[in-house]
Amino acid sequence: MTLAEKAYESLRRDIIRGTLKSGAPLRLADLSERYGMGFSPIREALNRLHAERLVTAESLRGFRVAPLSLDELQDAVSLRILIETRALRASIAEGDDGWAAGIVSSLYALKLQAGRTGPGADIWTLEARHHAFHVALLAGCRSPWTMEFVERLYAATERYRIPVLLDAGLPAGRDVQAEHGAIAEATLDRDADTAVRLLEDHYRRTVEQLIKVSDLDEAAPALAAAR
């Protein structure tokens, strides 16, 4: 991995996790000291993150962490649903035994980690396995371009979810792992209509809960209209 790639991964991680706050200035000198790298790899990483909409650039003012907004969240989730449901249908139609095994193993790993609750729970391992499961569902679509957009949209939406999980967690009364299991079951049964419906409902519920815990109820009508 090159220095530019290390800078990119470090910055991207800290933006998604909320360590670098929305709207925060990204000064080269500060970032160089923070990550122990020179200006060149950091500048390259910032330009890459700018292309992914995680960073903004202003003439004469430099880079900033991209702001968070409900409009962006809803736009990103709507596009994520559009792309991922198509990818899921393609995976169900074309996926082989290796693809199916990947879903089973990733779901098993996710459920194991999700069962490890309490003060010492490792949220980052849980998040990595959560990501791996959603990628496994779509991996049979055989489209590198699709998977690249999946990764970008995943990062865009996780910027909203991860800080909430770190702060207080999502509201009770929802069995997220049961939702994952139902999506996997329908997918492995090659029931595309059911799998797609469950995946969309899964994402819509998450957005609704993010709105509630973030005191952003004014977005509820727009979300309902997008159904």
Quick one: 96 and 204 in the same domain?
yes
Quick one: 113 and 151 in the same domain?
yes
β-partners of residue 200 are: none
Q: Domain of 205?
A: 70-225
Q: Which of 65, 91, 106 is the last residue before a domain boundary?
A: 65
Q: What are 215-227's pLDDT values in tens digits?
A: 544 433 333 333 3
- Residue 24 maps to which CATH number? 1.10.10.10
Quick one: 207 and 120 in the same domain?
yes
pTM, entire model: 0.82
Least-confidence region, from 18-32, 108-122, 137-151? 108-122
Which pairs from 35-42 meet CB under 8 Å and 24+ separation?
Answer: 35/6, 35/7, 35/10, 35/11, 37/3, 37/6, 37/7, 38/3, 40/3, 40/4, 41/2, 41/3, 41/4, 41/6, 41/7, 42/7, 42/11
Number of domains in the chain: 2
Count of CA atoms in the C-beta half-sphere (13 A) of 50: 13
Over pLDDT 70: what percentage of the chain? Answer: 88
Q: Which of 27, 46, 65 is the last residue before a domain boundary?
A: 65
Quick one: 51 and 103 in the same domain?
no
Q: Which of 65, 84, 110 is the last residue before a domain boundary?
A: 65
Give the separation between CA 140 and CA 95, rounded to whole angstroms.
4
3-state percent breakdown (helix, strand, coil) of the chain, nearest 5: 75, 5, 25
The residue with greater pLDDT, 82 or 215, is 82
Quick one: 33 and 77 in the same domain?
no
- Residue 214 maps to which CATH number? 1.20.120.530
